[in-house]
Amino acid sequence: MSKKGAAQHRQFTVGNHTISYELRRTRRRTIGLLITDEGLRVSVPQWVAQGDIDRVLHDRSKWIQRRLQAWQERQARLQAERTRWEDGGRLPYLGVDIPFRLHAGPTTYFDGSLENPVPGDTLWLTLPAQANEQQIRDSVLSWLQQQASREIGVRLERALQHTGLEIRRWRLSSAATRWGSCSSQGNIMLNWRLIHFSGHIIDYVIIHELAHLREMNHGPGFWAQVERYMPHYRSARDALRRVDPASLPTFPET
């Protein structure tokens, strides 16, 4: 029997398909199957024999194949969506996919409405034609965070006026997994990466956090507060839930 917690790489065959997986023996009481970024992981109790593992894998083979296919499709989609840090690359800004170009002018500028961008608007970065990926990435990050501070600040102030609520202070965050937070002291944090999304989604996250000033939970009373301040919040909430964070541009600071 393998050492507890040590990973073993094994395979099983279904029809003409050979599927590789990582086997881990843990303290869990049942056999668990999980599709990770590395593929199929099988976690089993210490006492389970290989024959029992093989039977479970074959019994669940259709589920495993469907999930692996979905994972492969997701990886292909993310690869296609991955930002190219070069002249002509693209990124989401306020829900619109905009290109960024390099130019020799004195300043970085956006040739459309910062508040209401439309397809075709372009971000012009004041960088030389030979700028490398890191220089372009840093320039885009600086511009995006400036816009986030402005746009999110304006929308937060508008929401405070709309709800009549008061906060102690707010700031932008670079959290990896949270779009916003609210403390019982009235401190609000909003993820600067919200600048990638449409204004409707940004407003929803702001209202969501402000509702916590009245209900520090996610119970029925909380959602009643959200609906009171934003009657059509569900469409924005559902759209945000469908977002795969891995599909957004990546920066070393986030």
* Mean of all residue pLDDT scores within the chain: 89
Q: Are residues 102 and 61 part of one domain? A: no
pTM over 0.85: no
Domain count, the chain: 2
Does residue 18 register a pLDDT over 90? no
Does residue 17 register a pLDDT over 90? no
Q: Are residues 213 and 148 part of one domain? A: yes
Looking up residue 185, the CATH number of its domain turns out to be 3.30.2010.10
Final residue of a structural domain among 34, 63, 81: 81
Q: Are residues 173 and 133 part of one domain? A: yes
> pLDDT tier at 75 (50, 70, 90 boundaries)?
low
Residue 150 lies in a domain: yes
Q: Are residues 235 and 169 part of one domain? A: yes
Residue 115: give the domain boundaries: 90-247
Q: Which residue has the higher pLDDT, 158 or 36?
A: 158
For residues 161-173, give the mean pLDDT.
95
Does residue 132 register a pLDDT over 50? yes
Residue 253 lies in a domain: no
Final residue of a structural domain among 53, 81, 109: 81
Q: Are residues 140 and 51 part of one domain? A: no
Does residue 114 register a pLDDT over 90? yes
Does residue 228 register a pLDDT over 80? yes
Q: Where are the beta strands (DSSP E) in the chain?
A: 8-14, 17-26, 32-36, 39-45, 90-93, 96-103, 109-110, 123-126, 169-173, 180-182, 187-191
Residue 156 lies in a domain: yes
pLDDT of residue 245: 74
pLDDT of residue 86: 92
Q: Are residues 49 and 140 part of one domain? A: no
> Phi and psi at residue 244, in whole multiples of 5°?
-95, 110
- Which stretch of 16-25, 77-86, 197-206 has the lowest confidence by average pLDDT? 77-86
For residues 216-240, give the mean pLDDT.
93
